[in-house]
Amino acid sequence: MKKSKTFILLKGLAALIMLLMITIELPGQTPAQNLVKRDYKIKKGQTILNLPVNASDRSLRATIRLDGKPLDTFTINLATDKPDYWTFFDVSAYQGKTLTIEIENAPQGFQGQTPGTETNVNLPPLNAKGLDMIFADTKFPGQDSLYKERDRPQVHFSAQRGWINDPNGLIYANGEYHLFFQHNPYGWPWGNMHWGHAVSRDLIHWQQLNEALFPVIQENVTGRGDAAFSGSAVVDPLNTAGFRKNGVDPIIAVYTSTGRGECLQISYDNGRTFIDYEGNPILKHNGRDPKVFWYAPGKHWVMVVWSSGMPKKLSSGDEVSIREHSIYTSPDLKTWTYQSGIPGFFECPELFELPVEGEPGNSKWLMYDAHGRYIVGDFDGKLFTIEQHFTKYENGGGYFYASQTFNDTPDGRRIQIGWGRNITHPGMPFNQAQLFPTELKLRKTMDGYRLCPTPIKEISSLHKNQQVLENKVILSGESAQIETNADNAIHVIAEFERGDAPITLNILGYELRHDNEWIFTTTAPDDGSKKTEAPAGPFPPPTASAPVIYVPGVDILKIEAIVDKNILEFFVNDGELYYVTAFNGKKTGQVTASVVANRNQRGPNRKFNIIKLEVHELNSIWEP
């Protein structure tokens, strides 16, 4: 049948319209349906832009823009129906302005650490329903129950929302202790590395502030994705860097910008906001995690940083690549010179001096890494001379990691905070926690120098409902018990006098055993209540539980423990043994000291003496 000219013309117009729809970007999406945008007008008084999260939804890459300029880029499991929880972006500085959020598909497994370095291949069409759920307000859904969630640690710092790992930039400045930390503010797993920020005036009660450091976004630069990895913070009262402005010596963050190298960011408002130093990067090398401090005798700055590949020539002329903690110096924080290195370490270096207990006028330098392995010796500002080789001061199965100490504490104490690695919180809107602050001391023992952490003295400010047993002899088959509230965090301080019976201390169901040969073991209760879930990230899971540890042979055994939700830290003999573990089993509500005879120690008259058994319930650090 012969078609009319009108029909042919209409068919042609329809084809042209179809072609235009395919080849021309329509409002809010690209031809491939892989980019969708929404605008959000931030009204006066609105401070938070709320983002719905559901772990079962696909990971998307989001960019928040103001007038086309990116403010943050991250991956997020943007909910398409019912959110598991809500996270948020601070918009208090953008009231009266319009923000744009773009979302696009992110490849499976991509966690936002290097945006721009991958391609989207064979991905399904983009589901943009989550954009319609985003809204601005003065608070976020769930804020009313903040810090009261079922599994929220009550004496260990955790973020309001999202994953945390390494503590960063620990410093005392202008009357505040600053705790910066690796933070994914947009989700439960590792990724999107920012520096979160919290402050405290007593090292106990923390107030979380807005994000401090953001990934540096370099659009249209292939292979230059960025994340704000670990580092430290300093104040420069001598103004060696020339950053003083209007009489203010800023807080200076020295950190690994993964797309650039070691970099500086500068804050003139006590860490609330930072600006990027225009001379970045200050150091380029294969590695990360700079710890920086002022070395007064040499009148220069010291940076100890992990190097994943320091070139070295063998006597044969062959070149090899060495992993080490590298030492650099600088007169002004800007120009750095390599001085020396110590091989054998991995990540998150620390370097500091401590007095030796009981030896007035004698002090030693220590260097350690993320695992808590340390060396002891002398340091002249450029070269570390080793006196005692690798020793561990944390003897658990890998739950302690990436600790850092505070710069510039007002009383000279060496205060440390570590990360409770892979002690997870499935089903919660937050994940991981920082360990309780400890004071480090150096002690000379029969086994050499020991780095000894103990809970900071400020823990006593949290004590309530104290119960004490004193001077009680325990015979074979007997026990002494204190009842406590298993829902509360507790602080246990026990001192035992050695007898001829093995000592068993059961803390809410977690058992510690010390036999007559001074071998120390621990046993966790069966976990029938919670599922252990390993989060995505570059961190291997802990490798051991119930370790067998040799304790120095002394007549008085002291055990101090902090128990919180699913975290247990204990300190033996004032920190000569330190151990961190997850505690996911059901808690019993009792602290019990008993004699459980083994096959080599039978008989009715075996005994030891309880000098003191104290159990303190602890107030929450989230309460005023």
CA dist 352 and 170 (Å) reads: 14
Structure tokens that stand for 31 in this block: 């031809």
Kindly state the helix (H) or strand (E) to which residue 180 belongs, with its residue range: strand 176-184
The Cα–Cα gap between 15 and 278 comes to 53
| Sequential DSSP letters for 108-165 | TT--SSSTTS----SPPPP--GGGGG-EEESS-TTGGGTT-STT--SSS---SSEEEE
What is the rounded radius of gyration, in angstroms, for the C-alpha atoms of the chain? Answer: 28
Kindly tell me the sign of the dihedral angle through the C-alpha atoms of 185, 187, 188, 191. Answer: negative
Q: Measure the CA–CA gap between 76 and 203, rounded to whole angstroms.
A: 32
Residue 94, classed as helix, strand or coil, is helix
Q: Indicate the burial class of 8 (C-beta count within 10 angstroms; 0-12, 13-18, 19 or more).
A: exposed
Q: Is 238 helix (H, G, I), strand (E, B) or coil?
A: coil
Catalytic residues: 166
Token pair 């060396």 is at which residue?
A: 375
Question: How many residues in the chain?
Answer: 624
The two three-digit tokens of residue 213, written as one number: 């450091």
Closest CA to 503 of 613, 430, 607: 607
Q: Round to whole Å and give the CA distance between 178 and 163.
A: 19
State the greatest distance between any 2 C-alpha atoms of the chain, in Å, as a whole number: 114
107: phi then psi, degrees, rounded to nearest 5:
-60, 150
Query: What residues contact residue 421 under an 8 Å CB cut-off, 6+ apart?
Result: 165, 398, 399, 400, 401, 402, 432, 539, 542
Burial readout 79-94 (b: 16 or more C-beta within 10 A, e: otherwise): bbeebbbbbbbebeeb
Instruction: State the amino acid at position 401 in one-letter form.
Output: Y
DSSP strand pairing (162-173 vs 430-431): parallel
Within 10 A of 540 (CB to CB), how many other CB atoms are there? Answer: 10
And the tokens for 546? 């119930």
Residue 503 near residue 516, CB atoms below 8 Å: no
